[in-house]
Every structure is written in structure tokens, then in C-alpha cells.
């Protein structure tokens, strides 16, 4: 695909967010292309999670708008945004602790099939064989098939993250937002998650990812935006960002750390 055919699916248009006198985000412009993985990196307090919260409709921007596939997301409710095909993995896993792992993954499947609201009392969950098979296949993908009858609250933090990822994947979202998807995971689990995310990428799912782990970022990202003090200070292909002196000063603290991970 040439640059002239760039297919921008998510457009963050001049978004600012103030909390009282604090400018958490200032004039953010971001374009995410269809099927690409766009990483947002930056030091703590740079505004990464705030940006994600604005995209997903959890926070209303002070000015600017977020457009996804021609639809303005700003002002829409979280469930409406999800129904348009945007799913999110949270920094602290948001799951259903009282339900089993399998049920956790089946619930989002119902949202995808039945929409935002449907009183379905005639059928039984047990009779939904197709959805259950699909949920079990995805649990297999994330490596949680053996835990499917466990209560989700009993999982380790890393397993909860993987389950939350499965909960998003079963919806076949067109845009997946990941807030530090590998935080709290062992190196082995991190690598499994990277492989999984690379597999999804092959299927053409667009992703925005916030991550501290540079190994994860450089394994997955097609494009990187560096956020610092609520502004995008650099943007480009992974190699360009790696070589950017400004970035190294603001965030990476010197070239040696980047060399260390590669």
C-alpha cells in the first residue's frame, strides 16, 4: 500500500483535555491506519491513559474530537462505541470475578451477536453451543483452556489480563485498544502475548497500544507516537523513533537502554 492510499481508520483530531489547570493533553493529532499497530509510549504522567480514555469515551475531551471510521466517537456512550467495533483491555483487568472464565468470554460474544440490549429469556446459555465453542477456541488461543471452569476472580493477574484480551478478541473488534497488556506478566507470558498479538495483526485488526516494555513495543508497533507532558513530541516508524535524540532525552534516558533491548 502506498502512502497516497493510506487508509486512516482512527483519527484523533486536535484533542485537548484539561483537569482544572492541568493540561493533561494538548492539541493531540493522531492517525491510525487500518490493520496497523500504533504504539503510544512516554514517561509516567505523559497522558497516555488519558488519551485512551478520551478515545473510548470514558473521558470527554475539553476540545477536539475522535473519529472512528467516519463516526464521531466523542459524546457517545461506552456501549455505543463498543458496538461500533472498538474494544479495550484496561490497565487493571476489568473482568467478571464471580463468573467462570468461560462465562467471562461468552458475555462479550452475546454483546456482539445480540447488540446493546436484548431480553433473551427463551433460550438457555447451555444451548448456545456455537458461542461456547468459539469462546473455548479463543481460550485455547490465549492459553487458558484448562482454567475455563475456574472462577475468574481466582486467576493470577497475568491470567486475568489474558482472559480480558480473550474477552475483547471474541468480539472481533475492528479497533483494539490495549493499555499495557503485558504489565504484571512473566517474561514467558509476555512472549506468548506478543505472539498472540502478532497473530491477530495478521488477521488485519487495528490496534492502539500503550506499553512501557520496549521489547513489546518494538516487536509489535508499525508506528510509534511519543507522548510527553501531554504533547506528541515525536512520531514515526520504530527505527526513526529509536534514533530520535529528543525522544531519548525525554523518555528513554539515553541510547544505551534502547540498544540493551535490541
Partner 1 sequence: MALFQLSRRDALILALFALVVVTMPVWTAPFGANYPGLMQKFAIYAIFAIGFNILFGLTGYLSFGHAAFLGVGSYTAVWSFKLLTMDALPALLLAVLVSGLFALVIGFLSLRRSGIYFSILTLAFAQMSYNLAYSVLTPITNGETSLQLTMQDPRVIDLAFSERGVGLPTASLFGVTLSGLSGFYFCAVVLLIAFFFAQKVFASPFGMMLRGIKSNQMRMSYTGFNTRPYALTAFVISGMYAGLAGALLAVTDPLAGAERMQWTASGEVVLMTILGGVGTLIGPVMGAWLIKYFENIFSSFNEGILSRFFDFVPEPLHDTVVAISSKFVGEGWQLTLGLLFVFVVVFLPGGIMEGVRRIGALFRRRGSPPKADAMRVQPAE
Smaller CB separation from partner 1, 23 or 110: 110
Nearer to partner 1, 48 or 132 (CB): 132
Based on the shown chain and the rule CB under 8 A, indicate whether residue 172 belongs to the binding site for partner 1.
no
Give the β-pairing of 37-41 and 223-228.
Answer: parallel
Is the Cβ–Cβ distance between 238 and 218 less than 8 Å?
A: yes
**Is 79 strand, coil or helix?**
helix
- Smaller CB separation from partner 1, 171 or 248: 171
First vs last Cα of the chain: how many Å apart? Answer: 28
Q: What is the H or E stretch that residue 32 is in?
A: strand 22-33
Q: Which of 22, 60, 116, 130 binds partner 1 (CB under 8 A)?
A: 116
Q: What are residue 28's DSSP bridge partners?
A: 15
Please state the separation of Cα 128 from the chain's center in Å.
28
| Closer residue to partner 1 (CB): 55 or 252 | 55
**Helix runs in 37-97, H state only:** 48-56, 78-83
Sole binder of partner 1 in the list 7, 72, 79, 204 (CB under 8 A): 79
Select from 112, 172, 212, 231 the one that contacts partner 1 (CB under 8 A). 112
Binding of residue 97 to partner 1 (CB under 8 A):
yes
Compare residues 144 and 250 and give the one whose CB is closer to partner 1: 144
- When binding is defined by CB under 8 A, the residue of 7, 29, 72, 77 that contacts partner 1 is 77
Q: For residue 157, state whether it binds partner 1 (rule: CB under 8 A).
A: no
How many whole angstroms separate alpha carbon 176 and alpha carbon 168?
A: 8
| Smallest distance, partner 1 to C-beta of residue 199, A | 22
Dihedrals φ, ψ of 122, to 5°?
A: -75, -35
Nearest to 88 by CA among 78, 97, 96, 98: 78
In the list 42, 47, 108, 181, the residue contacting partner 1 (rule: CB under 8 A) is 108
Under the rule (CB under 8 A), what is the footprint of partner 1?
56, 77-79, 82-83, 87-88, 90, 94-100, 102-103, 106-108, 110-112, 114-128, 132, 148-149, 167, 171
Amino acid at each position: 500500500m502506498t502512502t497516497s492510499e493510506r487508509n486512516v481508520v482512527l483519527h484523533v483530531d486536535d484533542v485537548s483535555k484539561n483537569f482544572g489547570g492541568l493540561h493533561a493533553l494538548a492539541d493531540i493529532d493522531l492517525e491510525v491506519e487500518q490493520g496497523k499497530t500504533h504504539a503510544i509510549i512516554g514517561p509516567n504522567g505523559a497522558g497516555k491513559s488519558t488519551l485512551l480514555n478520551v478515545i473510548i469515551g470514558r473521558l470527554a475531551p475539553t476540545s477536539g474530537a475522535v473519529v472512528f471510521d467516519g463516526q464521531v466517537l466523542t459524546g457517545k456512550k461506552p456501549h455505543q462505541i463498543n458496538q461500533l467495533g472498538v474494544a479495550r483491555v484496561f490497565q487493571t483487568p476489568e473482568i467478571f470475578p464471580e463468573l467462570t472464565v468461560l462465562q467471562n468470554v461468552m458475555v462479550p460474544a452475546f454483546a456482539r451477536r445480540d447488540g446493546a440490549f436484548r431480553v433473551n429469556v427463551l433460550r438457555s446459555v447451555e444451548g448456545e453451543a456455537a458461542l461456547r465453542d468459539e469462546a473455548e477456541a479463543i481460550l485455547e488461543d490465549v492459553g487458558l483452556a484448562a482454567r475455563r471452569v475456574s472462577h475468574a476472580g481466582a486467576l493470577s493477574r497475568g491470567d486475568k489480563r489474558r482472559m480480558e484480551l480473550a474477552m475483547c478478541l471474541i468480539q472481533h473488534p475492528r479497533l483494539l485498544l490495549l493499555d499495557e497488556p503485558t504489565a504484571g506478566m512473566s517474561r514467558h507470558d509476555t512472549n506468548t502475548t506478543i505472539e498472540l498479538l502478532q497473530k491477530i495483526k495478521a488477521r488485519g485488526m487495528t490496534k492502539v497500544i500503550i506499553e512501557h516494555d520496549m521489547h513489546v513495543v518494538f516487536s509489535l508497533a508499525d508506528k510509534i507516537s511519543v507522548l510527553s507532558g501531554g504533547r506528541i513530541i515525536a512520531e514515526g516508524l520504530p527505527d526513526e523513533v529509536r534514533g530520535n535524540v529528543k525522544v531519548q532525552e525525554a523518555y528513554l534516558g539515553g541510547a544505551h537502554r534502547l540498544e540493551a533491548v535490541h
